Amino acid sequence: MVKHKVQIVVFRENPLTKPQPYDVLLLRTNEKRGNFWQNITGKVEEGEDFLQGAFREAEEELGIPKNQFLQLIDLNQSQEFLSKKGNPIIEKYYSLILPAHIEKIIIDPKEHDNYTWIEPKKVTKNDYGFPSNFQCFKLALLNLSQQ
């Protein structure tokens, strides 16, 4: 059975950072999960489609209700891979725009132990634990620049 997952790059409006008036969120997984930086990731639960799963995961991992989101964007790209146990997974990519007033988020210590907001131009592939996270970030950034 194929499992469905979502990956979400989170941007926050920041009119002080030009020419790209956004910051991007990086979440650090806790020690038990590997202590690496990532975007929001999570599984799509039974009865949900990818979009519903993306909204729920974003709410859960940010501690912010979806009525405070400005825009959740389907990046129209996904990747297929095998889990550590060899099960097939399809992970769909999204980006999320938050308003400038959102500074703090509430992270779940069972998953993450830290987060940071960073200017997109300062992000490198070495900032992420997995290449797919950087790939999703670059796609989200390209999409953002085309809006």
Note the pLDDT of residue 43: 96
The residue that leads in pLDDT, 33 or 146, is 33
Distance CA 47, CA 45 (A): 6
97: phi then psi, degrees, rounded to nearest 5: -110, 125
Confidence of residue 147 (pLDDT cuts 50, 70, 90): confident
Map out the domains of the chain as residue ranges. Answer: 3-145
pLDDT tens digits, one per residue of 23-36: 999 999 999 999 99
CATH of 3-145, one of 1.20.1260.10, 3.90.79.10, 3.40.50.300, 1.10.3720.10: 3.90.79.10
Predicted confidence at residue 145, as pLDDT, reads 86
pLDDT, tens digit, 9 for 90 and up, residues 15-65: 887 777 999 999 999 999 999 999 999 999 999 999 999 999 999 999 999
The residue with tokens 């779940």 is 108
- What gap in Å lies between CA 79 and CA 89, rounded to an integer? 8
Mean pLDDT confidence for 90-105: 95
